[in-house]
Structure 1
Amino acid sequence: MSKNDVSGFHEKEFKELLRKGIGSRTQQEFATKTGIAPATISRMLNDNGIPCPRIKTLETFAANMVNVSLSELLTACGYQAPDIKDIVIKIESNIDDFFQFKADELDIYGNIEELKNKLLKFLDKDDLKLTIKDRKYTEADQTAGFQQVWPSGAEDSKIFELTWEYDHYVCKTSFSVYYIETMKGNMILVGSDIAYILHDSDEYVQNTLVKEKKKCTQEARLLHAIFGTENDKTLPETYAGYGFYLDGIPDGFVDFLNKHADTFCYTKENMKLYCRVMNGEPAEEVFAEYWDCNESCMGVCAVISDIMSLETGKGYLYYEPDEKLSKEAQNSCIMERFPYDIVDRIEKEQLKYIYQCARELKIQKFGVVYYHTTIQEETEQLYNLDSFYLC
């Protein structure tokens, strides 16, 4: 990624994006969140003739903003926003570097989890929100045109599926890892086939399936609607966070939207939606296809969570009823989820803000809330002690 001529830096546009991304947070709060000095943030916002921010700084900003993308910041600063294909090539090259077999020494791991953890640590410098799953190669993979390229000396293999995010894309990189299992159960790593083209599909960039976040979410909803949950193996789970429960559209929504119009109407599209509601159209119809800033939920409640996120800089999300649960167990809420779902004391300013929103929306209870949901049961790695075969 290269920098354009200095004349390509649009200072005014950058300042507007920075203010928009900070939202109602103070400069001190945003500086603490990003690890960038408050004085630097202040100069960027208030001084004239500021130097163009570095790419790393813009990446840090984007990672802590819910309504401004990295692409927008890069473009405003005169950088050539990278094509997702270039990012895929870089990531796959880094993966290949990790798996390069060392001829002069054995690459030994205690188990597959140790290997995955070391790969995660190796790739962590790219800040990709990366996760790794492993599984066996099946006939279904072969039928789908997913090939394997076995290196000499390998005795067994696992498919690694790396899911990662960049800008407004969700990507999954799939390839095979090859190894020898010792008598003591350790793994001698032989290598991988990440450097080969393994997927016979136009949807892939090299070995990476690339999709926009919004499209990915829409497809998940469609599959859920088509196939239902009858054959799913799910387990109950609970999320905890600060916010309030919802039961349909809050009675005070229109008044809430009107009071926070300055926050919500930051695009021409949002302004049009706002005007339609103020002119008497049903909010449920107007916002039926409205997606929140994170492209994770839609509808009226997504509007509420967007406004709360934009004004505080926190990650408020709408959690809709999980249809895999019984009607009695289902609930919905808007909340900022606790890290690891461990309840902590709410900050005074955050409590005051949630109280004000609940009051305007006419929601009676607010504070610590618990969302009931489910997780998919992992059955591919459950083994029988006697036979060591999958159960």
Structure 2
Amino acid sequence: MTSSWVPGADESGFGADNLPYGVFTRSGGGPRVGVRVGDHVLDLAAALGDPEFSAPSLNPFMARGSTAWRATRAKVSGMLTSEGGRASAEPHLVPLGEVDLRPPFEVADYVDFYCSLEHASNVGRIFRPDEEPLKPNWRHLPVGYHGRSGTVVPSGTDIVRPSGQRRSPDSDGPLFGPSTRLDIEAELGFVVGKGTSMGRPVPVSDFAEHVFGVVLVNDWSARDIQAWEYVPLGPFLGKSFATSVSPWVVPLDALGAARFAGREQTPEPLPHLHRVADWGLDLALEVRLNGEVVSRPPYAAMYWTADQMLAHLTSNGASLRTGDLYASGTVSGSRRDQRGSLLELSWGGAEPLTLADGSVRTFLEDGDAVAVSATARGMAGGTINLGEVTGTVRPACG
């Protein structure tokens, strides 16, 4: 893919080999769909003359399917890389500083997986120190839980500290109050574009026909509430209060150079989860707490790949809807500085983090600001930017 004529676009990581989609407003006007290129947004409704992009979300476009996605991407790329297309696109480039970003899509359902071997093993050792870290099913299927789409919020939304039941080691019963072990989870999310009917599983081979692109996810977690409630049915109130997503949806086609076979799986998965294409993704995540980098989780270390997650999600015949979001679960690597949650970084609070300003953290305090960003190798040989997802903790209500 050739370089863009937009100044600084390719160097920014938002060049012609990226072209992520988002939704924006400008000067009191209605929401519109745009593509980010450098420090600008290309107004697609104006540039392409397509009223479908004069919409408050990406959902109408995503519902058209992969043929439309690829044709639109090719057309936009041509406009931004050729002098012939420049006259059509340049008048409709809007500086980022003049727009307000909106949620990029309407979330239909939200599912969160648990697909990092290192994260699952660490959590098992912390929560269940006298047992095997992994449950017997973990290497046979991508474990997940069904979250709440209504609490998926755009990047930049303040996160109110949740309250709930929790039990301290020295108490006879539970107490109710604000979580004292509020945590983050650095994840990658997958956005479904093309839906399915009930009763029809999606095979791993059809992954790219249904998933439109990826976003960054911070699945905020109240570990004390989670630890008390999760037996026997799994996470509920410790997770459902907020999940933040980044404003730019990076198309799957932009990740071609980041793809690889994926991590070796032992034992071999059952036939419906056999991989048939390379959907391991070599992405470099970065977690910042109050501006300081505290972790660099490698997505390449994930055990289960996104095509397997989708196949498992629908293997019972559950339908997909445009705007469904499913996330990878916390991304963690084998080193301490690659752990994607404070639960792991502080080893359940036993090994506090000391920040550059001398402050100490085990879990999040009110006023803490968290940012998760990511990059990957682009098809043109450079680096593409997946943007970032941010949030600041506010005190509990009441």
TM-score class normalised by the smaller sequence? under 0.3
TM-score (norm 1): 0.22
Q: Which has the higher contact order (CA 8 A, sep 6+)?
A: 2
The structure with more helix, counted as a fraction of residues: 1
Q: Name which one, 1 or 2, has greater alpha-carbon Rg.
A: 1
The structure with more strand, counted as a fraction of residues: 2
